[in-house]
Amino acid sequence: MRKITYGKAISEAMHEEMVRDENVFILGEDMGIMGSVFGLTKGFRDEFGENRVIDTPISESGFIGMSVGAAIRGMRPVAELMYVDFTSVCFDPIINQAAKMRYMTGGQVKVPMVIRAPEGAGRRNAGQHSQSLESLFTHIPGLKVVAPATPYDAKGLLKAAIRDDDPIMFIEHKLLYAGKGEVPEEEYIIPLGKADVKRAGKDVTIIAYSRQVTFALQAAKELADEGIDAEVIDLRTLVPLDWETIEASIKKTHRVVIVQEAPKRCGYAGEISAQIMEGAFDELDAPVKRVAGLNVIPPFSPALEDLIYPNPKDIVTGVKEILGK
Amino acid sequence: MSAKKHGKELSLKFYREMSKVRAFDEKASELFTQARMSGNIHTCIGQEASNVGACQGLRPTDFITATHRGHGQCIAKGGDVKLMFAELFGKETGYCHGKGGSMHIANVGLGILGANGIVGAGIPIAGGSALASKIKGTDEVTLSFFGDAASNQGTFHETMNMAAAWHLPMIFMCENNKYGVSVCIDRVTNTEDIADRAKGYNIAGVVVDGNDVFAVYDAVQAAAERARKGEGPTLIESKTYRWHGHYEGDPMVYRTKEEINEWKAKDCIARLRQDILANHFATEEELDKIQGEVKAEIEAAVKFAEESPFPEAAEVTTDVYVTDNERSVTR
């Protein structure tokens, strides 16, 4: 099978959906002439025209609000925020408008919009361009949150997200863009809410999403060398959450490590942990372990930035801890 | 006033609509004071000419976004007062099945894309609707109602800039009623007219007497025509006044009785009535009859709302999502 990058996979998903459905259009900063800062929409404007590939001014609140209006009028906007950090500028249209519009109108409208937003540390971009904010959105009823780890998942999930009738935060990790993986030529869709067992194992379950899946798999490999057989679950979508896959794995391994790049305090790993305590406590042979980012602001200095988020070694340490090794 | 120019039929139609808006909000105020309704009620008494003139200047197929003071805007765009009162009572029969309440009445079929509890938030939503019309190549116009206070929100600037740059078929309809809750506009802005801001975006800016329904109607019609021809948006500032407080129960320590009385003397409904009488379009008795019919319609609406059932408990979790609703709600 051919191998393409995560960035190319996202680009293909948008392209295919724009060809398939004329109601799909994209908007955001530098999406047109420049083809987006990560180069994902190069050539789109020439092909689809200025009406469907819209270069917005730097007005996040305005164009995310406009996406809500266009969505309730039957369009399917795919808006890009250059960095997830910029959602702070447009919390109202995301949280008070997009998320609530269907419920508050008694089910009259649908808000089929996707907000693509790169997150994550590791590029020396400092405090306002390196955060992982998914837990803010998982807290809000009405939003769905997707965070793919591989090119295959990114393409299949983005196509599902664009076709979904609810507002979706599609959170990409900027350090995954250049990574390659197998992606079939033929069309496929990955349904939202279906986790993927990226590695089967019997001794411990490592639950991760986004870039930390790649770290969890590296950790699992190291652990295997030491005779520990780890199962790695990639959640892929945080809302809706695939509880069945989590539960089935815990029934097999009885031990869980949850990994996230975001700061530990009030992060999504805490939510999964609580759900496991409520729903599968009897299956546990050890307390649930979280391996997560430090509760700090992303620093600039490379020497400091690399300390703030978990690496494969931290995951290995976490697993050994709950195994008592 | 130009009832003569617009003729008997339109004048009487406006009179009926404006009377209905007033009767609705007077009743809502009364019910709230009697604690027969809960939540917040923001009445638009005094602003009826602005609501009715604006919506009547549009086609039924056009769209609006309403404000949290939006009862009149919704009625003027075709809202059924029975279903509106039911919504205010939190009943199943309401426009939003009781899930939106006074601040969130919407009906897409009527072109009402939603009232909003966040000041200025409806402006970009209206911009998105106008963008949708432009992309689809259809000729609907979207009008965004907002108040003077919302004109100081970033969404006003951001949307006006984009709508102007892209020639969107949109009307920015500022109902300047002088107050953002307790703060008078002249304490927080340095200019006389909000409409002046249109110059900064190179679009048309118009000030109208918001208590003259025909002036509002003419301005919106002209703006809608420009929008449909691809000539872009217009900012209309309708100078008007709310007689009641920001919310029902507001002690109104921020303005004088003299000021309120001065504006009550400019009552838009009384003005229209005088104009109709002067042009012999109707007699006092005929106009009183309209008032009576409107009040009866409002009473029937309240009865309908009070007698309607509350939503079933199961409805509390429906419609959070379109797809995966059950799973996404429980986990």
Structure tokens at B256: 């004088």
> Tens digits of per-residue pLDDT, B197-208?
999 999 999 999
A60 is known as an active-site residue: yes
> Tens digits of per-residue pLDDT, A166-201?
999 999 999 999 999 999 999 999 999 999 999 999
Q: Which amino acid belongs to residue B103?
A: M
pLDDT for A241 equals 98
Q: Please tell me what DSSP assigns to residue A96.
A: I
CB A105 to CB B104 under 8 A? yes
Residue B320 CA to residue B214 CA, distance in Å, equals 42
> Tens digits of per-residue pLDDT, B6-46?
999 999 999 999 999 999 999 999 999 999 888 889 999 99
pLDDT tops 80 at residue A249: yes
Three-state DSSP state, B327: helix
The per-residue pLDDT of chain A, averaged, comes to: 97
> Does A189 touch chain B if contact means CB atoms closer than 8 Å?
no
CB A102 to CB B319 under 8 A? yes
Q: Across the interface, which of B116, B132, B321 has its CB nearest the CB of A74? A: B132
> Tens digits of per-residue pLDDT, B87-141?
999 999 999 999 999 999 999 999 999 999 999 999 999 999 999 999 999 999 9
User: Binning pLDDT at 50, 70 and 90, where does residue A38 land?
Assistant: confident
User: Is there a contact between B133 and A40 (Cβ–Cβ < 8 Å)?
Assistant: no
> Tens digits of per-residue pLDDT, B156-205?
999 999 999 999 999 999 999 999 999 999 999 999 999 999 999 999 99
User: Binning pLDDT at 50, 70 and 90, where does residue A313 land?
Assistant: very high
CB B108 to CB A106 under 8 A? no
Residue A114 CA to residue A118 CA, distance in Å, equals 13
CB A142 to CB B320 under 8 A? yes
Write the DSSP assignment of B119-159 as a string of letters.
TTTHHHHHHHHHHHHHHHT----EEEEEETGGGGSHHHHHH
B97 is known as an active-site residue: no
* Alpha-carbon dihedral sign for residues B90, B75, B284, B213: positive
Backbone φ, ψ for residue A208 (5° rounding): -150, 175
pLDDT tops 70 at residue B1: no
Residue A209 CA to residue B325 CA, distance in Å, equals 22
For residue B289, CA distances in Å to A222, B75, B81, B121, B276 come to: 87, 20, 19, 40, 14
> Tens digits of per-residue pLDDT, B215-268?
999 999 999 999 999 999 999 999 999 999 999 989 899 999 999 999 999 999
User: Binning pLDDT at 50, 70 and 90, where does residue A26 land?
Assistant: very high
Tokens 């920001």: give the residue. Answer: B246
pLDDT for B328 equals 95
> Tens digits of per-residue pLDDT, B36-78?
888 889 999 999 999 999 999 999 999 999 999 999 999 999 9
Residue B202 CA to residue B191 CA, distance in Å, equals 18
First-to-last alpha carbon distance for chain A, in angstroms, is 40
Task: State what percent of residues in chain B have pLDDT above 90.
Answer: 97
pLDDT for A37 equals 86
Structure tokens at B280: 């012999």
pLDDT tops 90 at residue B294: yes
A262: CB partners within 8 A, 6+ apart: A131, A132, A133, A134, A135, A268, A292, A293
Q: Which residues of A touch B165 (CB under 8 A)?
A: 57
pLDDT for B2 equals 84
